[in-house]
Amino acid sequence: MTFTLDDLTRILREGSGAPDDADLSERILDTAFDDLGYDSLAMLETASRVEREFGVTLADSTVVDATTPRAFLAAVNALLPARTS
């Protein structure tokens, strides 16, 4: 199982909506969530949804420290079980 950018953008939109004129394509990987229009409350909601859907537990520090989609994806994927062939 892998947590993808598509998963993240879907969860962001479902939980907090998309900010006006938001382009949530691959170009956002290194853009701060604040710059994308998602505040700390939106990210806490996102983390909660990720935890429920993917069966992981994210530390509060992870949500604070993962300030870009790339960092958030890496943090979640580090908690997911490795895929087996």
Question: Does residue 85 fall inside a structural domain?
Answer: no
- CATH (domain of 70): 1.10.1200.10
Question: Does residue 49 fall inside a structural domain?
Answer: yes
Question: Does residue 65 fall inside a structural domain?
Answer: yes
The per-residue pLDDT for range 16-63, each reduced to its tens digit, is 776 655 666 668 899 999 998 899 999 999 999 999 999 999 999 999
Question: Does residue 22 fall inside a structural domain?
Answer: no
pLDDT on residue 46: 95
pLDDT on residue 1: 84
pLDDT on residue 85: 44
Q: How far, CA to CA in Å, does 4 sit from each of 40, 41, 59, 77, 80?
A: 21, 21, 19, 9, 12
Backbone dihedral angles phi then psi of residue 72, each to the nearest 5 degrees: -65, -45
Question: Does residue 10 fall inside a structural domain?
Answer: yes
Domains in the chain: how many in total?
A: 1
The per-residue pLDDT for range 55-72, each reduced to its tens digit, is 999 999 999 999 999 999
Domain extent for 61: 5-17+27-79
Question: Does residue 32 fall inside a structural domain?
Answer: yes
